[in-house]
Amino acid sequence: MDVRLDDKIMLVTGASTGIGRAIAEQAARSGAAVAINYLSSQSEAESLKAQIDEERGTCCLVKGDVSDEEEVLRIFSETAEKLGRAPDCLVNNAGSMIGRSPIAEMETAVWDRVYAVNMRSVFLCCRRALKTMIPNRSGVIINISSIGAYTGGGPGSTAYASTKGAMNTFTMGLAREVAPYNIRVMAVGPGVIETPFHDKFTTPERRGAFEKMIPLGRVGRPEDIAPMVILLASDLSSFTTAHHFDITGGM
């Protein structure tokens, strides 16, 4: 089955690397015009745009911090300016652990930053997206969660995991709020995925231990997550909302 996103505009936050990059690539290949949001990974974002351009896809780069309210307003304005209209689909992918730390030793500023990057950003982007989705009576929002929402996360990642639990709750509540406007809201929860995230925050020894816990016998790849996002964003999923989908290899 060829899942298509023709005539759709998708904004993917944190799209320059990892899962976000794979989602942006697949969305463009499926016919969507993609706004690639990034903050610091400029060279990676530029290489992604070059790749999509070479494949004759449609995309633009939109730099900005999605945890900052004014930046979010600008990101959406630039997306509409560069791609012709506001996004039909928002993928809230940007996120970070900031750093591993036991709660007993965590600084308040770190806790606040984890919540700003992982949840304030989702709230700000959803609120702005709905300004156009509600009048249009159409739209899709997909939040990238984590298996940590259920497990509490690995050592030192309780704060991060708690944001993903909050994200799942937010997803369910928002989905019911906006369903009367034909807007669908879902979450996708990856397990252990081979990305720069784990290069930064997880030791090889810990990654090996995680891999032994996965029934399918391997860690995931960003390309394992993207197809589900594309399917949920498509019209083939028009009766699907208020749900989260875990892609964990059986964990």
Q: Which CATH number belongs to the domain containing residue 208 in this structure?
A: 3.40.50.720
Residue 249 in this model has a pLDDT that exceeds 80: yes
The first and second tokens of residue 191, run together, are: 């397990």
Residue 199 in this model has a pLDDT that exceeds 80: no
Task: Select from 77, 59, 86 the least CA-distant residue to 140.
Answer: 86
Residue 202 in this model has a pLDDT that exceeds 70: no
Q: What is the pLDDT of residues 155-175, one digit of tens each?
A: 899 999 999 999 999 999 999
pLDDT level of residue 201 (50, 70, 90 thresholds):
low
56 pairs with which residues across the strands? none
pLDDT level of residue 251 (50, 70, 90 thresholds):
confident
Q: CA-to-CA distance for 140 and 242, rounded, in angstroms?
A: 11
pLDDT level of residue 211 (50, 70, 90 thresholds):
confident
Query: Domain for residue 76, yes or no?
Result: yes
pLDDT level of residue 232 (50, 70, 90 thresholds):
very high
State how many domains the chain has: 1
Of 6-10, 142-146, 206-210, the one with minimum mean pLDDT is 206-210
pLDDT level of residue 154 (50, 70, 90 thresholds):
confident
Query: Domain for residue 131, yes or no?
Result: yes
Q: CA-to-CA distance for 140 and 191, rounded, in angstroms?
A: 23
Query: Domain for residue 40, yes or no?
Result: yes
Query: Domain for residue 3, yes or no?
Result: no
Instruction: Decide if 181 is catalytic.
Output: no
3-state secondary structure of 148: helix
Residue 211: domain span: 9-247
Neighbours of 227 (CB within 10 A): 15
Q: CA-to-CA distance for 22 and 2, rounded, in angstroms?
A: 17
> What integer pLDDT is reported at residue 195 of this predicted model?
80
Query: Domain for residue 2, yes or no?
Result: no
Query: Domain for residue 56, yes or no?
Result: yes
The answer to pTM > 0.75 is yes
**Percent of the chain scoring above 70 in pLDDT:** 95
Query: Domain for residue 33, yes or no?
Result: yes
Query: Domain for residue 4, yes or no?
Result: no
Q: CA-to-CA distance for 91 and 239, rounded, in angstroms?
A: 18
Q: Are strands 9-12 and 89-92 parallel, antiparallel or unpaired?
A: parallel
Residue 197 in this model has a pLDDT that exceeds 70: no
The single residue of 115, 150, 160, 181 carrying the catalytic annotation is 160
